[in-house]
Chains A and B, each alone.
Chain A
Amino acid sequence: MIRLEGVTKTYRGRPALLGVSASVEKGEFVFLTGPSGAGKSTLLRLLYRAEVPDAGRVLVGGRDLTHLSRREVAEMRRRMGVVFQDFKLLRRRTVGENITLVLDLLGLPEREQQRRAYLALRQVGLHHRLSAYPEELSGGEQQRVAVARALVVQPEVILADEPTGNLDPERSHELMDFLREAHYRGTTVVVATHDVTLIAAHPARTLVLDRGRLVRDGWGPP
């Protein structure tokens, strides 16, 4: 499903990723961890093609992302569920609209959009904030909306960047359960986190990055 082949990404001469090679099979659940600045977000950005590598190849579903057209990139992103580290909610749209928008992009009829948005928000416990604007929510609530937006499209791949960063432990585990559920339904899930206790509580294959290098590919917390 996902393949990195000797991927290097540098920002103004400073490498954020250095010769990273790894692959994630379809339906796998993988943690990506490492200290702050290790390159976790950079790796995920390469996977949803917000960046292109300086060297090496990034393949998703067998296709080299570097050579996709703008149209193909958009099509690919529609079928991915991404939870961004900084949420990236549209601040001029309500919580409900933030969710229905991605369903709208998929061409779903309006009633179905509303229905699915409601269910997704209920899953993360925010169905009563449907018509609130993101800035009226707490950081943790915004994060849950971002998760709901990623889950609602029932994507083939979920890329979650610190999805529990703003949540208390109970909410964190609840959220991990949602991601697990998606995984059990066959979705490929990649979760970037620096929270080792989270990995310990939900042991899975874990890739460890350190200063841009892949230093471990094993089971459970490092």
Chain B
Amino acid sequence: MRQHLWREVRRQLGETRGMSLIALLLLAVGGAWWLLVVSFLQWGRQGLEGASARAVVVAVVHDGAPAEELLQRVQQRLPSANISLLSQETMMEALGPMVADLGSEAFLPQAVCLQVAAEQVPQVRGFLQQEPAVAVVISSQDWVSPLLGGFALALKVAAAFAFLLLLAFGTLVVLAVRVLVLSHADEIAIMRLIGAHERDIRLPYLVASALLGLLGATLALLLFLVARQLLLPLVVLPPVPWEVLAGTVVGGSVVGLIGAGLGVLALPKEP
């Protein structure tokens, strides 16, 4: 069946040129977009995870409370931590350019700044909150965690969108194969009369669709690599895990195959 199979596959792809092309583009663009999203998220998460390994905890001191004393007590309690006093001058310098009319520096509170490991944050926070001189405790963990959560959510949304595109591709394949099968009804009837097995009849449709999926997914990979190269001056995206790359290619082919399998169900039955 080899020679006739390939000829039939080529013929079928030719006959559904328009639909095949749209399906191909859908898969290529969708796949490339999906890979880009994955690598952007990976890039963002790597950055955040670097930031989240070490946390910054800031304890704002009550107006007029003895900040130096607090600093010493914290240093005794956490000798390993990198601790500094944020003086009113430092704060002025930091906030001055951002806030136009900050007024007198006397309005600014003093603060103690600690750099600790992320897992120490709850303990340090608890200790600082018990200090009478401390008004508020702020930690960098407070925004890193929600951001990480946000990334996880964004990944889910991106995956859902990629899934929708994949579904659209699959639907298109189902429709194309249905149209093809119905327009070939007379030929299929003849094939059966000269002794073709159902497998001989169905295989070309399955092969053509799987091939379309494979081609689309490979195109997606190429498109993604080009986009990554173009983005190089702006951002160095980390390499996408090979499982994701392989999954994209296999996924495209499998969806093509399933689509054809569903499309071929429209095949007229023999009396």
Interface, chain A (partner B; CB < 8 A): 48, 50-51, 70-71, 74-80, 82, 84, 88-92, 97, 100-102, 104-105, 110, 113, 149
For residue B93, CB closer than 8 A to chain A, the reply is no
**Contact status B3-A74, CB under 8 Å:** no
Known: A51-B271, A104-B1. A97 touches B7 (CB 8 A): yes
Q: Nearest chain-B residue to A88 (Cβ)?
A: B190
A181 shortest CB reach to chain B, Å: 22
Measured CA separation A88–B271 after assembly (Å): 17
Can you give 10 contacting A-B residue pairs, CB < 8 Å? A50-B271, A70-B198, A74-B196, A76-B195, A79-B195, A84-B193, A90-B190, A101-B194, A102-B194, A105-B194
CB contacts under 8 Å to A, within B158-197, are: 187, 190-197
State which size class the interface on B falls in.
10 to 19
Q: Chain A contacts of B271 at CB under 8 A?
A: 50-51
Instruction: Report whether B197 and A74 are in contact in the complex, using a CB–CB cutoff of 8 Å.
Output: yes
Q: Does B270 contact A (CB under 8 A)?
A: yes
The answer to whether A105 touches B196 (Cβ under 8 A) is yes
Apart from A74-B197, A78-B195, A97-B4, 13 more pairs, CB < 8 Å:
A70-B270, A74-B192, A74-B198, A77-B194, A77-B195, A79-B195, A84-B193, A90-B191, A91-B187, A105-B195, A105-B200, A110-B3, A113-B3
Interface residues of B, Cβ cutoff 8 Å to A: 1-4, 7, 11, 187, 190-198, 200, 270-271
Q: Say whether chain A's binding surface is mostly helix, strand, loop, or mixed.
A: helix
**Are A71 and B197 CB-contacts (below 8 A) given A104-B1, A110-B3?**
yes
Residues from chain B with a CB closer than 8 A to the CB of A71 are 197
Q: How far is the CA of A51 from the CA of B11 in the complex (A)?
A: 31
Minimum distance in angstroms from B145 CB to a CB of chain A: 61
The residue among A75, A82, A90, A91 with the most chain B CB atoms within 10 A of its own CB is A90
Which of these, A48, A84, A92, contacts B187 with CB under 8 Å? A92
Complex partner residue of B195 from A74, A88, A97, CB under 8 angstroms: A74
Beta-carbon contact of A92 and B193 below 8 Å: no
On whether A90 and B187 interact (CB within 8 A), knowing A70-B198, A97-B4, the answer reads: yes
Contact A100 B197 (CB under 8 A): no
Q: How far is the CB of A117 from chain B (nearest CB, A)?
A: 12
- Give Cα distance in the complex from A77 to B191, angstroms: 10
Instruction: Say yes or no: B193 contacts A50, CB within 8 Å.
Output: yes
Nearest-neighbor residue (CB-CB) of A84 within chain B: B193
Q: Chain B residues near A82 (CB, 8 Å)?
A: 193-194
Which residue of B11, B192, B195, B197 is within 8 Å of A102 (Cβ)? B195
